[in-house]
Structure 1
Amino acid sequence: MLRPCSAWRVLVIGYGNTLRGDDAVGPILAERLRGEVLAEGLLILSCHQLTPELASDVAACEHVVFLDASLEIPVGEIECRPLTPLPRDAAPLVHSLSPERLLALAQLCYGCVPQATLVSVGGLRFDFGDAVLSPPVAATVEPALQRIRELIGLEPRQTAG
């Protein structure tokens, strides 16, 4: 049964290696969102990889949005897709998890699974030691932020002017 144990309305987790070029887009999106959106019931996390320790945060929200780079979609494209937990027998415990495995772990440990969405940005460069987004991925940051805002029902902070 999919049900949340909500402490937060929305949890956003941007993940990826910030020293591997376009793999940094998940954390970059999370940090940008954190800097421009202020909302009650919203928790934004940025991490290198998804780990079992995140299961309690995942179980404690109504909707979790994962932000990541992908080699499986065209460079610079943005894809949003719903996620479900992997079946129990397909979710072994390891130090790094896919979003679906993390959902399965939240369900196993806490009996709660929120609505879940993966927002992926098609990446080009994933070389070690490259701390800069490729031009097509950098150009996707603003459109991706807008899609994320729409997905979670938020607007950016308004500045006095």
Structure 2
Amino acid sequence: MKKTLILGYGNPLRGDDGLGWHTLTRLESQIDDPAVELVVCHQLTPEMAEPISRVHRVIFIDARQDGTPGELRTEIIQPALVDPGAPFTHRWEPSTLLGMAHWLFGGSPQGVLMSITGASFEHHEGLSMTVEAVLPVLLQRVQEWLDKSEVAPSLEEMPD
């Protein structure tokens, strides 16, 4: 059984929105652990709840639009309550997927969102210089989180 799932998501043809893709591409060459699964996708979908339910920890990696460009954030994600009568939406959040993983499959992994505020979301491939400069810190933060025991480090333990 995989212990950790790393989900990198976004659109690699929209500049910094491709952060998840670029991060996982680099992690592929750094992580040689069969207990870690790397998954890259354009957006989060309800089907991801099942594989999320089978792991102990999940790291979501995404670009964000709010904040100062280049700002790196780490947020512990709590599962959202799932309303089975709610309409389907185009955009799924990490908290919703954690809630679905528990509600549908009984899984309760720890979740964390690691994100960098983007500087450019225009139509082009590659990251902005601002985000590219912070990417090594994000990669280090992912590795530190993987090196911890089963219990996710608190935000106070994570370097800024």
User: Could you state the TM-score of these two structures normalised by the residue count of structure 1?
Assistant: 0.85
Q: State the shift of 1:134 in Å.
A: 0.9
Say how many residue pairs are matched: 147
Q: Which of residues 19, 22, 29 is equivalent to 2:16? A: 22
1:74 aligns with 2:79: no
Matches within 5 A, 1:8-87: 8-87=2-81
Aligned-partner Cα distance in 2 for 1:70–1:82: 16
C-alpha RMSD of matched pairs (Å): 1.7
Aligned-partner Cα distance in 1 for 2:3–2:103: 21
Map of 2:92 onto structure 1:
97
Aligned-partner Cα distance in 2 for 1:87–1:56: 16
Asked if the contact 1:8–1:60 (Cα under 8 Å) also holds between the matched residues in 2, the reply is yes
Aligned-partner Cα distance in 2 for 1:116–1:46: 16
Aligned-partner Cα distance in 2 for 1:92–1:35: 40
Asked if the contact 1:82–1:118 (Cα under 8 Å) also holds between the matched residues in 2, the reply is yes
User: SS of the residue aligned with 1:38?
Assistant: coil
> Percentage identity across aligned positions?
35
Q: State the shift of 1:95 in Å.
A: 4.6
Asked if the contact 1:13–1:65 (Cα under 8 Å) also holds between the matched residues in 2, the reply is yes
Which letter maps to 2:115? S
Q: Moved runs in structure 1, 4+ residues, more than 4 A? A: none
Q: Which of residues 110, 113, 124 is equivalent to 2:108? A: 113
Q: State the shift of 1:47 in Å.
A: 0.6
Map of 1:152 onto structure 2:
146
1:142 aligns with 2:136: yes
User: SS of the residue aligned with 2:5?
Assistant: strand
Deviation digits for residues 16-71 of structure 1 (CA, Å, limit 9, x no counterpart): 00111000011110121012210121101111101111111100100000000011
User: SS of the residue aligned with 2:3?
Assistant: strand
Q: Which runs of 5 or more structure 2 residues have no equivalent in the other structure?
A: 149-160
Asked if the contact 1:23–1:126 (Cα under 8 Å) also holds between the matched residues in 2, the reply is yes
User: Could you state the TM-score of these two structures normalised by the residue count of structure 2?
Assistant: 0.86
Deviation digits for residues 103-126 of structure 1 (CA, Å, limit 9, x no counterpart): 111112101120000001110111
Which letter maps to 2:125? A
Asked if the contact 1:52–1:95 (Cα under 8 Å) also holds between the matched residues in 2, the reply is no
